[in-house]
Structure 1
Amino acid sequence: MEEQKSVRRFHFLGVLLGVSIDNLGTFVSTAMIGSAYFAGNSIDPNDLSAVYANTGLLWILLIVGLFWTFLGGFVAAKVARRAEVFNASIIGVIAAAIGFDSMLTSHEVPLWYELLGFIVIIPVSLLGGYLALRRKQTR
């Protein structure tokens, strides 16, 4: 029985919490940043092209979104307490799949933003897993 348990790598609750943190954190942060941006500028909230034309705002949104992916990977690894990097990687793969879908369906978002996010999202989630693993090993 013990031998079978050590082979299990996937931790459902860890991944579920990690994905939830990533998606909910990104959604709430984006909504707050977007609200502040629209409140401070006299533009139509329905005109998303103004948001996509603001490179500085896109960088902020990208960094904040990647922070939540990092945290999601970290939480997935901490909760799993086994195969930390593997469970954290699942957060990045799910986020990359969502980003890939966005690339195919949303043509207003600048390509550089979509590609950069797509390229770095899995390494960022892995970083969260590595940090959790390192913290576990130092204890």
Structure 2
Amino acid sequence: MKSNDIQIIAILLGFVVNLVGTYLTSGLLILVYFNAKGISLDNSKDVIYSDNFILSLLIFSGLAWSMLGGYICARTAKKSHYFNAATIGIIGIAMSSYSYVMGDPSPSWYKTIALTCEIPITLLGVKLAMAKNSGHQ
């Protein structure tokens, strides 16, 4: 691996898409869910971390954005697609791990899925991008 194999712009673009998409979608899902259930946002943390349905929606949407981040990274990077996209997954795992160490009250099943699926899902995005690239050549 050479230093010029690292595609900083592709990594940043994929990471920003992942992060911004995850946060926006999470916020919207929580607002819609709470509104539909008639739940006040004042006690949102208590409700979110005790409701497996909303947690499942949040983990699914977050992983979908991770896959899209990997896809965009691979489509943007000129080489070393898997390495560059895996970097996004590693950054995501580092951020999640820091959050968990600092006392994130998420249930252990949520943390386990987030930590174990981040890199494989991101790499699935790369695989989809590579399949699309090979289909257009």
Hey, what does 1:30 align to over in structure 2? 26
The answer to which of 42-51 and 28-37 deviates more is: 42-51
Task: Return the TM-score normalized by structure 2.
Answer: 0.91
Secondary structure of the structure 2 residue equivalent to 1:8: helix
The one-letter code sitting in structure 2 at the alignment partner of 1:38 is F
Q: Which runs of 4+ in 1 moved over 3 A?
A: none
Structure 1 residue 52 corresponds to structure 2 residue 49:
yes
Structure 2 residues without counterparts, runs of 5 or longer: none
Output the TM-score relative to the length of structure 1. Answer: 0.89
1:81 and 1:99, CA in 2 relative to 1: closer, same or farther beyond 3 A? same
Residue 76 (structure 1) aligns with? 73
Secondary structure at the aligned position of 2:41 is classed as: coil
Q: How far apart in 2 are the matches of 1:7 and 1:38?
A: 47
Q: State the match for 1:41 in structure 2.
A: 37
Q: Matched residues, percent identical?
A: 28
Q: Kindly tell me: are residues 7 and 19 of structure 1, through their superposed partners in 2, closer, same or farther at Cα, counting changes over 3 Å?
A: closer
Structure 1 residue 87 and structure 2 residue 88: aligned?
Answer: no
Unaligned runs of 5+ residues in structure 1 are 1-5
Alignment RMSD (CA, Å): 1.5
Deviations 1:105-136 (A, max 9, x none): 13421111011110011100011112222222
Q: How far did residue 56 of structure 1 move?
A: 1.1
Cα shift at 1:64: 0.4
